Amino acid sequence: MIKPIEGFSKLTKTEKIDWIATHYTKNPETSKETLKRYWSSDDALQKLHDEFIENTISNYYLPFGIAPNFLVNDELYAIPMAIEESSVVAAASKAAKFWLERGGFKTTVLGTEKIGQVHFMYYGEAQKLKDFFVEVHRKLLSSTSSLTKNMQKRGGGISNIELRDQTNKLENYYQLHCTFETSDAMGANFINSCLEQFAKTFKEEAQHFNAFTDKEKDFEIVMSILSNYVPNCLVRAEVSCPIAELNVGNSISAEKFAEKMVRAVNIAMVEPHRAVTHNKGIMNGIDAVVLATGNDFRAVEAGVHAYAARNGSYSSLTHASVENGQFRFWMEIPLALGTVGGLTSLHPLVKLALEILGNPSAEELMQIVAVAGLAQNFAAVRSLVTTGIQEGHMKMHLLNILNQLGANDDEKKKLIEHFKKNAATHNAVVEAFEQLRNR
């Protein structure tokens, strides 16, 4: 039985590797070699990576690809994407090229407001708390002046603080609901610092509010934290064209294709089981760009899925319609992103990704990311209502299967050619590989 370890964080990287490989892997020497193989040969770069997180023992690589030909508001982009899933970059690129010839993508930022909350329990008369909040409101803002000074210079800051009575949801539960503008920063540290100062000032000032009894002064600050649900940090992305221009192949007419696209999206609007996979396809595109640009894809995922369920049932984020001979495909999605701070100025590939995108502002990045998600969803739904999803996906997945089988370069070349004309199921690939090797 493996014993718990004390002071793991104080070990050197080599000592950490020795310990983990010895106690948790079957072939320690092979495991050590694998971990060290992914170290950077550039010592300075490796040191930088080591300091991003705690207890680093190696680097975990993801492919860094480019989806070209994205025409967004009449400007052409090549979008960096970091993702391991086959066919995502190819699908996004295919959708980008399709819409390039039909006017491209149109985007609008609808809002950039972010949210944070101070959660607390209060055990007294509600009206007294409301009176206290009115009195202390100005002091809450002034207490954060040193924190907001630089953000205000960049056009951001605290936009509002309100007291919310949540006792209908949880006994004695109240909150300070606060909204912020963070300019080009993601703003997490800024928001959390402001919230913690609000909580401190709120608690201190309560001790001097004469209307409070001793019990009422003794309310409990539970926590102060930003929210990743940002329904007012919103961007719209859309494409449209005359139905006659929706020529996607001889197997289906433009009119039938438009009709099936609308029906497929409508199914995702009303059926949560379909909506989850439908929206996952959107996030394939969004997460890949968010990750490539050093943003927090986990926060984005949480906020997006909460938004998809905002009306009480989980539903499609995209919409499709046919009106007056025009096909339209669009979505509105919350995206709290940043182009300064965090890894944006540290990770060399993040800096390069932002440079490739023209060093966008946070609002511009919101639009680029939204477009990647819309393109990915269009490509996925297009495949679903025409050829089926597996034809394209399995052909892109072919190399992964061949690598798992240990195919050499010559075998890969022959089998790739073979599966240009044949369905590339896993069993079919294995069978063709074995036949080729046993000749």
Question: Rounded CA gap, 439 and 435, in Å?
Answer: 6
Q: What is the pLDDT of residues 281-338, one digit of tens each?
A: 999 999 999 999 999 999 999 999 999 999 999 999 999 999 999 999 999 999 999 9
Per-residue model confidence (pLDDT) at position 390: 55
Q: What is the largest CA-CA distance in the chain?
A: 93
Answer yes or no: do 175 and 248 share one domain: no
- Residue 381's pLDDT band, with cuts at 50, 70 and 90, is very high
Q: Which of 130, 92, 185, 161 is nearest to 382 (CA)?
A: 92
Q: What is the pLDDT of residues 247-283, one digit of tens each?
A: 987 789 999 999 999 999 999 999 999 999 999 999 9
Look at residue 88 and tell me whether its pLDDT is greater than 80: yes
**What is the count of structural domains for the chain?**
4
Read out DSSP for 22-84?
HHH-SSHHHHHHHHHHTS-SSHHHHHHHHTTSSS--------EEEEEEEEETTEEEEEEEE--
Question: Rounded CA gap, 289 and 353, in Å?
Answer: 9
Is residue 58 domain-resident? no
Read out DSSP for 354-372?
HHHTTS--HHHHHHHHHHH
Per-residue model confidence (pLDDT) at position 439: 74
State percent of the chain over pLDDT 70.
98
Answer yes or no: do 340 and 251 share one domain: yes
Burial 258-272 (b: 16+ CB within 10 A, else e): bbbbbebbeebbeee
Q: What is the pLDDT of residues 102-111, one digit of tens each?
A: 999 999 999 9
Per-residue model confidence (pLDDT) at position 202: 97
Per-residue model confidence (pLDDT) at position 392: 55
Give the helix, strand, coil percentages of the chain, each rounded to 5. 50, 20, 30
Within 295-347, residue ranges assigned H as helices are 297-308
Cα distances from 339 to residues 38, 41, 207, 354, 366, in angstroms, run 28, 28, 41, 8, 10
Read out DSSP for 129-161?
HHHHHHHHHHHHHHTTHHHHHHHHHTT-EEEEE
Decide: 36 and 58 in contact? Cβ < 8 Å. Answer: yes
- pTM higher than 0.95: no
Is residue 3 domain-resident? no
Do strands 106-109 and 234-242 pair parallel, antiparallel, or not at all (unpaired)? Answer: antiparallel
Answer yes or no: do 239 and 348 share one domain: yes
Please work out, in degrees rounded to the nearest 5, the angle formed at the alpha carbon of residue 167 by the alpha carbons of 302 and 179. 45
Question: Rounded CA gap, 109 and 281, in Å?
Answer: 22
Answer yes or no: do 307 and 181 share one domain: no
Per-residue model confidence (pLDDT) at position 123: 94
Q: Count Cβ atoms below 10 Å from residue 125 Cβ, excluding itself.
A: 13
Q: What is the pLDDT of residues 324-374, one digit of tens each?
A: 999 999 999 999 999 998 888 889 999 999 999 999 999 999 999 999 999
Per-residue model confidence (pLDDT) at position 423: 72
Answer yes or no: do 156 and 86 share one domain: no
Per-residue model confidence (pLDDT) at position 403: 79
- Which of 227, 259, 278 is the C-terminal boundary of a domain? 227
Is residue 302 domain-resident? yes
Per-residue model confidence (pLDDT) at position 397: 67
Answer yes or no: do 310 and 359 share one domain: yes
Is residue 129 domain-resident? yes
Answer yes or no: do 353 and 316 share one domain: yes
Beginning with the edge strand found earlier in the chain, give each strand of the sheet holding 157-165 in spatial order: 157-165, 173-181, 114-121, 220-227
Answer yes or no: do 73 and 166 share one domain: no
Q: What is the pLDDT of residues 406-434, one digit of tens each?
A: 888 887 787 777 777 777 777 878 878 77
Look at residue 142 and tell me whether its pLDDT is greater than 80: yes
- Which of 227, 258, 277 is the C-terminal boundary of a domain? 227
| CATH number of the domain bearing residue 191 | 3.30.70.420
Per-residue model confidence (pLDDT) at position 145: 95
**φ, ψ for residue 15, nearest 5 deg:** -65, -40
Answer yes or no: do 303 and 190 share one domain: no
What does pLDDT average to over the chain?
93
Mean pLDDT of 118-129: 96
Per-residue model confidence (pLDDT) at position 395: 57
Is residue 31 domain-resident? yes
Question: Rounded CA gap, 364 and 201, in Å?
Answer: 36
Answer yes or no: do 281 and 355 share one domain: yes
Per-residue model confidence (pLDDT) at position 245: 95
For the ranges 220-224, 234-238, 244-248, 427-431, which has the lowest average pLDDT? Answer: 427-431
Is residue 120 domain-resident? yes
- Residue 389's pLDDT band, with cuts at 50, 70 and 90, is low
Is residue 59 domain-resident? no
As annotated, the active-site residues are 85, 280, 296, 393
Q: Which of 301, 275, 272 is nearest to 286 (CA)?
A: 301
Look at residue 64 and tell me whether its pLDDT is greater than 80: yes
Beta-carbon contacts of residue 3 (< 8 Å; ≥ 6 apart): none
- Residue 188's pLDDT band, with cuts at 50, 70 and 90, is very high
Per-residue model confidence (pLDDT) at position 415: 79
Answer yes or no: do 122 and 210 share one domain: yes
Decide: 428 and 402 in contact? Cβ < 8 Å. Answer: no
Answer yes or no: do 261 and 377 share one domain: yes
- Which of 191, 209, 227 is the C-terminal boundary of a domain? 227
Question: Rounded CA gap, 211 and 429, in Å?
Answer: 78
Q: Which of 220, 201, 199 is nearest to 209 (CA)?
A: 201
Question: Rounded CA gap, 277 and 318, in Å?
Answer: 12
- Residue 393's pLDDT band, with cuts at 50, 70 and 90, is low
Mean pLDDT of 35-63: 94
In this structure, the chain runs to a length of 439
- The residue segments making up the domain with residue 204 are 114-227
Decide: 15 and 21 in contact? Cβ < 8 Å. Answer: no
Handedness of CA 350, 355, 357, 359 (dihedral sign): positive
| CATH number of the domain bearing residue 315 | 3.90.770.10
Per-residue model confidence (pLDDT) at position 391: 57
Measure CA 224 to chain center. 23
Mean pLDDT of 59-86: 96
Is residue 352 domain-resident? yes
Per-residue model confidence (pLDDT) at position 42: 94
Cα distances from 248 to residues 99, 238, 258, in angstroms, run 12, 19, 10
